[in-house]
Amino acid sequence: MGILRFLLFPLSLLYNLVTHVRNYFYDLGFFKSVNFDIPIIAVGNLSVGGTGKTPQIEYLIRLLQNNYKTAVLSRGYKRNTKGFILLNNTHTSDDVGDEPLQFFKKFPKIHVAVDENRVNGIQELKQKKSIDLVLLDDAFQHRKVKADCYILLTKYEDLYTDDFVLPTGNLRENKKGAKRAHIIVVTKCPTNLSKEKKQEVKRKLNASSEQYVFFSNISYHKKTLGKLNIPTEALSDYEILLLTGIANPTPLVSFLKEKGSKTHHLKYSDHHHFTKKEIDTITAKYDSISTEKKILLTTEKDYMRLSAKISPLSYLEMSTKFEDGDNQFNTVVKSFFK
Q: What is the DSSP letter of 1?
A: -
Q: What is the pLDDT of residue 338?
A: 66
Q: What is the pLDDT of residue 5?
A: 79
User: What are the tens digits of pLDDT across the range 240-263?
Assistant: 999 999 988 999 999 999 999 999
Q: What is the pLDDT of residue 50?
A: 82
Q: Is the confidence at residue 1, as pLDDT, over 70?
A: no
User: What are the tens digits of pLDDT across the range 161-176?
Assistant: 999 999 999 999 999 9
Q: Is the confidence at residue 277, as pLDDT, over 70?
A: yes
Q: What is the mean pLDDT of residues 122-130?
A: 98
User: What are the tens digits of pLDDT across the range 104-124?
Assistant: 999 999 999 999 999 999 999
Percent of the chain topping pLDDT 70:
99
Dihedral sign for Cα 160, 166, 172, 177, please. positive
Q: Are 246 and 102 in contact (CB under 8 A)?
A: no
Burial of 265 (0-12, 13-18, 19+ CB in 10 A): middle
Q: What is the mean pLDDT of residues 299-318?
A: 95
Q: What is the DSSP letter of 190?
A: P
Q: Is the confidence at residue 40, as pLDDT, over 70?
A: yes
Q: Which of 311, 314, 309 is nearest to 297 (CA)?
A: 314
Q: What is the pLDDT of residue 247?
A: 87
Long-range contacts of 31-36 (CB under 8 A, 24+ apart): 31/143, 31/144, 32/144, 33/143, 33/144, 33/145, 33/146, 34/119, 34/144, 34/145, 34/146, 35/146, 36/122, 36/126, 36/134, 36/145, 36/146
Q: Which of 175, 180, 172 is nearest to 147 (CA)?
A: 180
Q: What is the pLDDT of residue 154?
A: 97
For the chain, give the mean pLDDT.
Answer: 95
C-alpha to C-alpha distance for 100 and 114, rounded to whole angstroms: 7
C-alpha to C-alpha distance for 51 and 215, rounded to whole angstroms: 12
* Neighbour count for residue 50 (Cβ, 10 Å): 21
What is the value of pTM for the model shown?
Answer: 0.95
Q: Is the confidence at residue 234, as pLDDT, over 60?
A: yes
Q: What is the DSSP letter of 71?
A: E
Burial 144-158 (b: 16+ CB within 10 A, else e): ebebbbbbbbbbbeb
Confidence of residue 130 (pLDDT cuts 50, 70, 90): very high
Burial 115-125 (b: 16+ CB within 10 A, else e): bbbbbebbebb
Q: Is the confidence at residue 8, as pLDDT, over 90?
A: no
Q: What is the pLDDT of residue 325?
A: 85
